[in-house]
Structure 1
């Protein structure tokens, strides 16, 4: 196995054994230490002359890279520098993030990753992960068989069709699996050599990409229908042949595809969709924290879900489960939620409803007698006014959809209204936190999908919680891997949500932010992982004993530090 970097004995001694030398060693991002190679290692591995004479440290290197980042004026420029660093020296990349989480998370993930995907063809330089294009679909087994993938334990895959709120980015969507897997390691401690980002290139309907001579993807309109379904099936079958116990995360598939794929495969292998289940968990966790701060139980809240794509459907389904946990029946829980599509409030009989949305539609008698301002679909404002909504959640990617009129009406219904404009990147947010606080006299409890600066109001500073999936999916993946769960259950998703809610600063102080600081994301990831692992054990999808989980978590978590190297002759 020529790319086996670790074995149990060498790990116990904090040593990496490898056969690579010279350029081959320096060009491997998982092994390169740059100037931090010792004098002895330079002798043994033939590095003299390839490196400057300075013997550096990881601390020196972090300082050098941080200065370069600080000198780069644009978010995209910083993103590009971090991507280059990841492809050059993974330990330094993750060490830099660990020491500057709050500053660099928006650089390696949202919102900067959005522009990174849009301009991915401009900055692609080195292979990372796998591009599996539709014309090459019959080569999947051969691609996956490469020995360099022997240690893979988890995959994030996208087809690039629905990147954040930016739509179809084709092969540029690879920026999302790369970014997600970076957070698997940075926030979850999953070893980077266990992670494989994959882009399924089924074409693109983005005309700008089809016309762009430097676009790196398959320049063909998207394959759809039975051909697309067969492509996905071929991929899942090939993955299961290569890694029967793999964790597979689906990411940024178009709404109906996302729901259909999850339903089809969730009982065949260990898999989850972060847009559906991760978003649901972080939203539910944030809302559970918020209702504790308001003092009004979840079962007494009335929720408007503005946007009912895959994310909205996932949120609603988990909220219904949470409402049932709070004592309501299924029917009573559904009565607490008002769901919207792009036309307005979803009401039965609307021909525009998709199959996944029909169970979310209100009965016609539910809205009879409502006072509405215009004929046709019922607006968000009219719903807030008539249904006495207390919670607004947005996954619509419609910037400014939470208008002043609507928010002021919401504030009449609740002493502390909860408002979660979750669409990202920032340009797609349903409202700006400063406006929301202004329109509610500083009383709103707010969580946003993208990062926003603190807001000054009434002589106090309000930190805005980023209701971001990064609080959930790294810990969810870690808990699944360490517990060796065979499936991802709804109970595991709910366990992640409830653990996040329990960590809310607002539990202790009703005026505190709803979520822990982004800088604590690593601690949050470990806490979520333990809750998920315990749920997997309780639900019988893991054979681990409860008392073993904590020790196994601590042993598994990878830290970004340089290790001593030993040369192995021939293949390792």
Structure 2
């Protein structure tokens, strides 16, 4: 193995591997890498296409021969590449890549999950985001390639909420995959069998939940992410009153929709997560505009290519009366009459970072739905009339840290009022207390505290 750093973004490190492939696969599995890069002489890179793609691997930097390279992040988070993909001409279904490491736990580790958790280098874990990779965004079953989701969510814990990244643990539970393309792909790094279900699956989840709380404490926050509906709802009901946990796709989504509609109860909304581009046809948009003065259109599916309609289509068909929010960002839209609209992003990043910060700050044992409802009410209060005039349903993302701070304070107020908090004494100034916990990437000063005593004080005393 050779190792070298190349010019480019500081969060990228290149690790070059020769054969054998078994060593390569083990290394990929360890670091949670998603895409394999085939390269020759540095810095030439090619991206290997999934088995489902008929297109050849696309060379994006040059030509080369038979050396393997893997992208490994040097930093824990990079919000810009949260759901990033490296794409090339003719390669449209590349899987997410350039993702940092997380902890992979497989069905074959059942009975030894405590040992797996002990292998993680950090012991002071306050928040865990876990997925089994079965329903990733609008992409479906990605198996162990779903690791990018817990990594990305925890990146937002830090970027939007100020949670210390050293206190965060991304986990993927690999129980197999029902994605035939992955099962046939010789480069797939996960377990190559159909998904394990039923009793054995439930026993794995039970052991995981118990092992996490045994090691990191009963107050350790566990966020379930992108589980298929068949498991998501029943696992939420099973664990919500036993552990400090929530399901992002169920409770956070309810929170962000409530936030949008709470701003004005006179507006009527049409929302969708069909993951079908164009599902909101022009006729649907026209009908909404015909019996609503300001129709709200939620095109919430991710990624952008699967949004039910575009922001431009919404504004043009509704003649600028539509208020648009999407799961992934769209550029601002200027109509022929000169009016410019800024599409809102109906992303639960407005919800879970602030909730998580508050839950961690006061040591909440269980997270009731009321916490998400009060969060929604507060987000609605952050939206001004000026924001609505611009077509926004949510506050600007540039204010997300301040919004998350205020949400965390609301969570503390509720938790202490309803005896849900476990950290005592109760802080008198809750905002100052939360601020003291917020992580910033600033370096501590290494300048020595150097000073001198008065010259007379340093004279040697004569006896």
Contact 1:537 1:546 (C-alpha < 8 Å) held by counterparts: no
> In 1, Cα distance between the equivalents of 2:93 and 2:350?
22
Which residue of 1 is the match for residue 74 of structure 2? 88
Q: Does 1:270 align with 2:244?
A: yes
Are the counterparts in 2 of residues 117 and 173 from structure 1 also a CA contact under 8 Å? no
- In structure 2, the partner of 1:394 is 272
Aligned twin of 1:135: 108
Which one of the candidate residues 365, 375, 396 is aligned to 1:496? 375
SS at 1:199's partner residue?
A: strand
**Bigger share in helix:** 1
Summarize deviations over 1:506-532 as a string: whole Å, max 9, x none.
Answer: 377545522222222222221221122
Q: Alpha carbon RMSD of aligned pairs, Å?
A: 2.8
The answer on whether the counterparts of 2:260 and 2:394 sit within 8 Å (CA) in structure 1 is yes
Counterpart-to-counterpart distance in 1, 2:127 and 2:94: 25
Q: How many residues align?
A: 376
Distance in 2 separating the partners of 1:500 and 1:396:
25
1:529 to 408, 411, 417: 408
Partner of 1:552: 433
Which residue number corresponds to residue 242 of structure 1? 215
Unpaired runs of at least 5, structure 2: 6-10, 14-59, 61-69, 448-463
SS at match of 1:148: coil
TM-aligned CA deviation for residue 538 of structure 1: 2.3
Separation (CA, whole Å) in 2 of partners of 1:203 and 1:143: 18
The equivalent residue for 2:330 is: 452
Give, in whole Å, the separation in 2 of the partners of 1:149 and 1:285: 35
Matches within 5 A, 1:63-82: none
Matches within 5 A, 1:365-444: 390-444=268-322
Choose between structure 1 and 2 for higher RCO, CA contacts under 8 A separated by at least 6 residues: 1
Question: Could you tell me how far 1:117 is from its partner in structure 2?
Answer: 11
What does 1:4-43 align with in structure 2 at a 5 Å threshold?
Answer: none
The 1-side partners of 2:139 and 2:351 are apart by 22
Question: Which has the larger displacement, 145-154 or 264-273?
Answer: 145-154
What are the superposed Cα offsets for residues 369-414 of structure 1, whole Å, 9 maximum, x if unpaired? xxxxxxxxxxxxxxxxxxxxx3201122122111111111111111
Partner of 1:350: none
Do the aligned partners of residues 117 and 434 (structure 1) sit closer, same or farther apart at CA in structure 2, a change above 3 Å counting? closer
Aligned partners of 2:93, 2:160: CA distance in 1, in Å?
22
2-side partners of 1:415 and 1:435: how far apart? 17
Matches within 5 A, 1:39-54: none
Tell whether 2:359 aligns with 1:480: yes
SS of match in other structure, 2:110: helix
Contact 2:342–2:390 at 8 Å: present in 1 too?
Answer: no
Residue 282 of structure 1 corresponds to 256
Give 1:464's match in structure 2, choosing from 317, 336, 343.
Answer: 343
TM-score (norm 2): 0.75
| Alignment partners' CA distance in 2, 1:505 and 1:519 | 15
Specify the SS of the correspondent of 1:547.
coil
- Helix, strand or coil: the match of 2:202? helix
The match for 2:28 is: none
Q: Say whether 1:518 aligns with 2:403.
A: no
Partner Cα separation in structure 2 for residue 486 and residue 134 of structure 1: 28
- 1:561 corresponds to 2:442: yes
